[in-house]
Structure 1
Amino acid sequence: MGAGEAAGIEAGIELAALVAEGTPGSVWLTGQTISRDLRRGRYTPESMQHPGKMLPTIARRAIRTYTAPGELVLDPMAGIGTTIVEAMRLGRRGIGVEYEPRWASLAADNIRLAQADGATGTSHIYTGDSRTLPNLLPSNMHGKVALIVTSPPYGPSTHGHARTPGPRRGKVRKINHKYGRADNLAYRSHAELADGFAEILAGCLPLLRPGGHVVITARPYRRHGELIDIPGMVVAAGVTAGMELVEECIALICAVRDGVIIPRASFFQQKNVRNAIADGDPQWLVQHEDVLVLAASSRSSARGGR
């Protein structure tokens, strides 16, 4: 075991201790099953091509916690539709907006699969730019959304999947690690991403019903060795949009067995951590997502922002 894995396991044991202490609402055990098993039979195989999929268990936990059956759940950056598919499988009404037609088409396929599988809720996917959200969605949705669940992109490239070219097991290469369109927010600078995400959240505000919540999952990532604070960006974008942070949780992307963490790190995550440590830059494996829960601020509510 390398130093990076050891550091990740040490951090995970601390999280496991929090779970054992029963800290209410703070740690979500959402990584007990690996992603491909969570999606098998519930999503099309082509869905695995998306570079930034939310764990279905994270979406489910948020939906169960903050909504009741029949309520409306929105994801303004829907990707392959994980949030809205899990909403309809839990008897809610899901609405998704996706910028890239390729992913919107896969989301529609996953909606049809859930319908055929007997999901009791309904879902619909729109293709468009969520920075114009209030104009993109029907006016009768304004003030009706109980919960918004989404996640911003972590740069233009993710860890993706590792593949080797043949039986001789040559050089490892990445697949399924990039967004499609060059004008996607994922390809913008950190400042432009922050501004764009603030626009999206501002558009979400008039859609929320009184008492509605916005749940955003995020984690920091490294660009050319520099740590990019995506969770901090999310909170700042929410404040700019007229929201306030009301809760912060941790959603594990690893498993916990008998108080010990089982990492879910990709080949490239492990490789990057090992290389950084070898270069004298101590790093560790990130094994959780920050779950940032926002609501309309009191000032926004007083202005009728919802």
Structure 2
Amino acid sequence: MAEVTTSVWATGQQPSRVQRRGRYVPESMRHPGKMLPSIAARVIETYTGPGELVVDPMCGIGTTLVEAAHLGRHAAGVEYEERWARLAVANLGHARKQGAPGFGRVMAGDSRHIARLLPDLAGRAALVLTSPPYGAATHGHIRSTRDTGEPGVRKWNQRYSHDRANLAHQQLPHLLEGFGRILAGCVELLRPGGVAAITVRPYRVRGELVDLPGHVHRLAEEAGLVFVDRIVCLLCGLGEGRLLNRASFFQLHEARKAWARGTPIHALAHEDLIVFRRLRMAAEADPGHALEGVRELE
């Protein structure tokens, strides 16, 4: 297993659409909050070895699972929305056609009950890698007046779901309560010494900064995980002597509104990767081979 040697990862050298082109089925672009493939791949390569098990309790279109499969790891994911779960299966099938040696498994269900959904994987995961939802206000595709020449803003693919029970629709207190339950369940899936890595960034609501990384850090420790590292994953590109801006419309819009009010804030150019471990307990037995019970879905 590789060791972390830097606190900043250059994961934004290519735009997200370029990272996904050809590696994921085209329909994947419909999901409003996809994890950056370069972040998923770097985390998996850093914290796991070939043949080990990676779990994503909120797998969306399956970015974590696909990158794990390409790296020779095996993966299991849970997704609340069946349409995204089907896309995750399609992306895993696409990865297999491209020669990915790892296998993946996807289940449509509520990951607040993940330990009950995946009981055969208890104590077997080397890595849990996921990201919480941010809600419809910060995701989706945008065409502004500058792009179209027409007045107003056109927005599409901005919703995870129309199901109000989906965490993406919840206000912050309920979102955090649900995500805390997910992390507690994931602890049961991790092997002793296993890693939980969460990609998360702060966001603004009506100009106010929401410290989602800080909230997630607290939830992970309340679930019994031990903090071990915090890494900056760049969303911007590193050019020759300059940064290549890849900030989203939403980030730029909030920054411009704040400047107009006289508050000089800047668009975020990174995502926090917060890394935790499950403590090793002397009395815990070897969990066995992670591959058992993990099979590719057709």
TM over 0.5: yes
Greater mean deviation of Cα atoms: 78-87 or 157-166: 157-166
Question: Which of 136, 148, 151 is the aligned partner of 2:128?
Answer: 148
Going from structure 1 to structure 2, the CA distance change for 1:280 and 1:302 (only over 3 Å counts) comes to farther
- Deviation (angstroms), 1:304: 5.6
Does the CA contact (< 8 Å) of 1:81 and 1:110 recur in 2? yes
Identical-pair percentage: 51
Runs of 5+ unmatched residues, structure 2? 288-298
The C-alpha deviation readout for 1:33-89, integer Å capped at 9, x for no partner, is 000010001111111111110000000000000001110000000000000010001
Does the CA contact (< 8 Å) of 1:157 and 1:179 recur in 2? no
Does the CA contact (< 8 Å) of 1:96 and 1:125 recur in 2? yes
Question: Which of 199, 206, 215 is the aligned partner of 1:217?
Answer: 199
The aligned counterpart of 1:87 is 68
The C-alpha deviation readout for 1:190-227, integer Å capped at 9, x for no partner, is 11111111111110111111221000000100112221
Does the CA contact (< 8 Å) of 1:157 and 1:178 recur in 2? no
Does the CA contact (< 8 Å) of 1:159 and 1:269 recur in 2? no
- d(CA) in 2 for partners of 1:75, 1:215: 10
The aligned counterpart of 1:75 is 56
Is 1:62 the counterpart of 2:48? The answer is no
- Deviation (angstroms), 1:302: 6.7
Is 1:133 the counterpart of 2:131? The answer is no
- d(CA) in 2 for partners of 1:243, 1:304: 16
- d(CA) in 2 for partners of 1:170, 1:195: 40
Q: Secondary structure at the match of 2:104?
A: strand
TM-score by length of 1: 0.87
Going from structure 1 to structure 2, the CA distance change for 1:148 and 1:259 (only over 3 Å counts) comes to farther
Does the CA contact (< 8 Å) of 2:138 and 2:250 recur in 1? no
Does the CA contact (< 8 Å) of 1:218 and 1:291 recur in 2? yes
Does the CA contact (< 8 Å) of 2:199 and 2:271 recur in 1? yes
Question: Which of 99, 118, 122 is the aligned partner of 2:103?
Answer: 122
The C-alpha deviation readout for 1:91-117, integer Å capped at 9, x for no partner, is 110111000111111111111111111
Going from structure 1 to structure 2, the CA distance change for 1:167 and 1:215 (only over 3 Å counts) comes to closer
Is 1:272 the counterpart of 2:254? The answer is yes
CA RMSD of aligned residues (A): 2.0
5 Å-filtered alignment, 1:162-177, equals 162-163=142-143, 169-177=150-158
The aligned counterpart of 1:195 is 177
Q: Aligned partner of 1:163: which letter? A: R
Is 1:36 the counterpart of 2:17? The answer is yes
Q: Secondary structure at the match of 2:138?
A: coil
Give the structure with the larger helix fraction.
Answer: 1
- Deviation (angstroms), 1:164: 6.2
- Deviation (angstroms), 1:282: 2.0
Question: Which of 134, 137, 151 is the aligned partner of 1:157?
Answer: 137
- d(CA) in 1 for partners of 2:283, 2:150: 62
Q: Secondary structure at the match of 1:43?
A: coil
Runs of 5+ unmatched residues, structure 1? 1-22
Greater mean deviation of Cα atoms: 172-181 or 40-49: 172-181
